[in-house]
Structure 1
Amino acid sequence: MKEKDLLFFQPLWRRLAVTLFCAGWASWEWLNGQTLWGLIVSGITLYCYWTLFHTFEPRREPD
């Protein structure tokens, strides 16, 4: 991720909002029988989780 992206996603609520939005969208596609879009958006959701939670390192304020 670029530095400006890391600054935008520092607050936890933004990371949660983006990931939950993608999960909701994926659920909507699966419930409506849109398998291709369900797979695509599920992949985006997994990428959001991986990037924004699993490997994300919040910036530390210098002491």
Structure 2
Amino acid sequence: MANDRDHPWLRPLWVRIAIVVVCAIWSGLEFYSGQAFWGTLAGGMAVYAAWMYLVNHPKPQDQPSKEQQEE
């Protein structure tokens, strides 16, 4: 079974950043409206998403150069 972080939909950096930003905005809106529980929950999702999708995301494998492919 493949890891969810390896899904092709998550390859572009802008998608991963958008997920983190949406969760952070959601957290801010919840805190602003006085809902500390939901704000904390959404904030935790933002932190987890930042860790999994930005800090700890696997790097794309380097493509072999043309010279290496010819050998």
- 1:38 equivalent in alignment to 2:43: no
Runs of 4+ in 1 over 4 A off after TM superposition: none
RMSD between aligned residues: 1.6
TM-score, normalization by structure 2? 0.77
What runs of 5+ residues in structure 1 fail to find an aligned partner? none
Q: So what's the TM-score if we normalise by structure 1? A: 0.86
- For structure 2, the residue ranges without an aligned partner over 5 or more in a row are 65-71
| Greater radius of gyration (CA) | 2
1:16-41 Cα offsets, whole Å, 9 max, x none, are 11110001000000100000000100
User: How many corresponding residue pairs?
Assistant: 62
Partner of 2:22: 21
User: Which residue is 1:55 aligned to?
Assistant: 56
